[in-house]
Structure 1
Amino acid sequence: MRLPLDQDPTARDLVVLGVPYDDSGRCPGTRLGPGAVRDVSALAHVPGGDRGPGTFDLVDCVDGGDVDLTPWASGAVPEVLYKRLSHLLAGNAAVLLLGGGRSLTVAALRAVAERHGPVALLHLAADPVGSHPQGDFLHQAVEEHLVDPSAVVRIGLRGAGAPGRAQGGVMLDVGRFGRLGVRGAAGVVRHRIGRRPVYVSVAVDVADPAFAPGTGTRVPGGLTSREVLGLLRCVGDLCPVGFEVMGVSPPQDRSGITAALASEIGGELIHQYARAQRIPM
């Protein structure tokens, strides 16, 4: 988004950090995501510019570069990310991660909870937590007291067997989301999470493959881009302390629209972070 590069930032409101890593195997996929999102974001409008002052006039935001994650040392990757985020959060208010994956979400939550205690979780994704090889991050996060289980909202599930509750929180599959609509689902989020510090995790596969073909998900019936971005407008009514936008796999999408959607999601989250700080707009 044409932000200044600062690889050792201090006293910033928000640091954007690339996490170039593949959860599954050695074939390049999601580790190319941060670069693709950065490329398309260079042509994007200023987030929230159509709703008042430009976001970057309201919050001090920089691009912190990429975390150095070698694909050959997967066992050490979560610890490398945790240490990098712990260092950043000691001197800056919040982070927005581009890329990564569910095997690294716990590492991010460890760093965030180290500063804020157990946090609420708003998680948008296509599939139930346990259906992915690395998908039980929520169970692990609750076990480690990183997440408040009563303040979990998961949205966007599709496919058979998606339950209605998640570790004491709430699950809204696409059927329930469709019946509630964006406004109703946002009301559920506000009611369940309230003013607890919240970590917002968005897997781009929450969107239907028509809007995000570069995620590896081929199951139709997901949210539209408009629904995803509309729902995220409620984040400014919460108390967000960290964000991640993950799951972009450029080799699976030559059109680039998946990276473009991820860029829009990241921009919307930055704008909502400014709103959450109660900065007049």
Structure 2
Amino acid sequence: MERIPSPARSCARTLTFMRLPLDLDPTARDLVVLGVPYDESGWFPGNRLGPGAVRSASAVAHVPGADRGPGTFDLVDCVDGGDLDLTPWISGAAPEVPYKRLSHLLAGNAAVLLLGGSRSLTLAALRAVAEIHGPVALLHLAADPAGAHPQGDFLYQAIDECLVDPAAVVRIGLRGAGDSGHAQGGLMLDVGRFGRLGVRGAADVVRHRIARRPVYVSVAVDVADPAFAPGTGIRVPGGLTSRELLGFLRCVGDLCPVGFEVTGMSPPQDRSGITTALASEIGGELIHQYARAQRILM
């Protein structure tokens, strides 16, 4: 899949992720990138500006990351599907809107990559993915487990609705209070255990735990230390370095990924743009690992 050539771009044209073709009604694609501009979870506002900022940061990227072998877009048919139509005035119906859109997309396309946006819409994504694949494994990277109490925690709800397999839930990078992963049968690798295992050891744990189950991969940028991602809704020092995070995500190519999300960006909290640059690189890494996984499955 050829991307939009640089000379064809102008200040007025629609910005797409990594200059992918824009297709607002995609069909039979390997992967569709979709923006989810919505604010709800997180201490700092501004999540709704995340998708646009990540696309802007990705415009200078010539390949999804570096030193990764064959061109990713030569291996998978990938397009940018634009943004979900979400506004601050539909809070009560917010999960229903992305669920319907994602159900429609996944009925005709293989996988999606969501650019957030609030982390509160993960449940809607899992509902749409589970319609196609049944209960899926979940690889969730975030600083805040958001699960000290069942009410409002997407993992509790997802397990109650049989959207995910609790035996195949792995949560990485946690450094806040909460026990939802343990209480529901999931595996938690907090930053302390991640540090002791190292990137390779943690990746091996994930490969063993999830194996070849269909897996949904959720990455909140606050899993990285605020030194590398200050523009988030939740800042918790002591997180992963950007090198550790990107290195760890390479294990996704050994799994069977069926959907992705990169969430939690709050561009107003980071005038330097390093958070959206990291989020763009995470998105590129996930697309590359999806392509690698598809080659393994062939």
> TM-score normalised by the shorter chain: which range applies?
over 0.9
Instruction: Report the alpha carbon displacement of residue 167 of structure 1 after superposing the two structures with TM.
Output: 1.6
- Of 239, 250, 253 in structure 2, the residue corresponding to residue 222 of structure 1 is 239
Question: Which amino acid is 2:131 matched to?
Answer: E
Give me the whole-angstrom Cα distance separating, in 1, the residues matched to 2:192 and 2:181: 11
Give me the whole-angstrom Cα distance separating, in 2, the residues matched to 1:134 and 1:21: 20
Deviations 1:228-252 (A, max 9, x none): 1011000000000000000000010
- Structure 2 partner of 1:19: 36
- Of 222, 233, 257 in structure 1, the residue corresponding to residue 274 of structure 2 is 257
Please say if 1:76 is aligned against 2:93.
yes
Please say if 1:195 is aligned against 2:218.
no
Superposed, 1:173-192 pairs within 5 Å as 173-192=190-209
Q: Secondary structure at the match of 2:115?
A: strand
- Of 11, 16, 19 in structure 2, the residue corresponding to residue 2 of structure 1 is 19
TM-score in terms of structure 1 length: 0.94
- Structure 1 partner of 2:116: 99
Of all paired residues, the percent bearing the same amino acid is 87
Please say if 1:113 is aligned against 2:130.
yes
- Structure 1 partner of 2:189: 172
Question: Which amino acid is 2:55 matched to?
Answer: R
Question: Which amino acid is 1:59 matched to?
Answer: V
Question: Which amino acid is 1:225 matched to?
Answer: S
Give me the whole-angstrom Cα distance separating, in 2, the residues matched to 1:186 and 1:18: 28
- Structure 2 partner of 1:209: 226
Moved more, 96-105 or 192-201: 96-105
Give me the whole-angstrom Cα distance separating, in 2, the residues matched to 1:157 and 1:187: 18
Give me the whole-angstrom Cα distance separating, in 2, the residues matched to 1:49 and 1:159: 33
- Structure 2 partner of 1:53: 70
Instruction: Report the alpha carbon displacement of residue 159 of structure 1 after superposing the two structures with TM.
Output: 3.6
Instruction: Report the alpha carbon displacement of residue 166 of structure 1 after superposing the two structures with TM.
Output: 5.3
Give me the whole-angstrom Cα distance separating, in 2, the residues matched to 1:132 and 1:39: 37
- Structure 1 partner of 2:174: 157
Q: Secondary structure at the match of 1:278?
A: helix
Contact 1:157 1:206 in 2 (8 A): yes
Question: Which amino acid is 1:194 matched to?
Answer: A
- Of 41, 47, 54 in structure 1, the residue corresponding to residue 58 of structure 2 is 41
Please say if 1:127 is aligned against 2:141.
no
Q: Secondary structure at the match of 1:98?
A: strand
Instruction: Report the alpha carbon displacement of residue 163 of structure 1 after superposing the two structures with TM.
Output: 7.7
CA 1:5–1:217 in 2, change beyond 3 Å: closer, same or farther? same
Q: Secondary structure at the match of 2:125?
A: helix
Please say if 1:30 is aligned against 2:64.
no
Instruction: Report the alpha carbon displacement of residue 153 of structure 1 after superposing the two structures with TM.
Output: 0.2
Question: Which amino acid is 2:133 matched to?
Answer: H
CA 1:279–1:173 in 2, change beyond 3 Å: closer, same or farther? closer
Moved more, 152-161 or 137-146: 152-161
Instruction: Report the alpha carbon displacement of residue 129 of structure 1 after superposing the two structures with TM.
Output: 2.7
Structure 1 outlier segments of 4+, above 4 Å = 131-135, 160-164
Superposed, 1:238-277 pairs within 5 Å as 238-277=255-294
Q: Secondary structure at the match of 1:215?
A: coil
Between the two proteins, the alignment pairs up a number of residues equal to 280
TM-score in terms of structure 2 length: 0.89
Moved more, 110-119 or 125-134: 125-134
Deviations 1:201-230 (A, max 9, x none): 000000000000000333210000001101
Contact 2:222 2:236 in 1 (8 A): no
Deviations 1:25-61 (A, max 9, x none): 9x85000000000001000131155222110111000
Question: Which amino acid is 1:146 matched to?
Answer: L
Q: Secondary structure at the match of 1:184?
A: helix
Please say if 1:62 is aligned against 2:95.
no
RMSD (CA atoms): 2.1
CA 1:134–1:233 in 2, change beyond 3 Å: closer, same or farther? farther
Q: Secondary structure at the match of 1:75?
A: helix
Contact 1:85 1:108 in 2 (8 A): yes
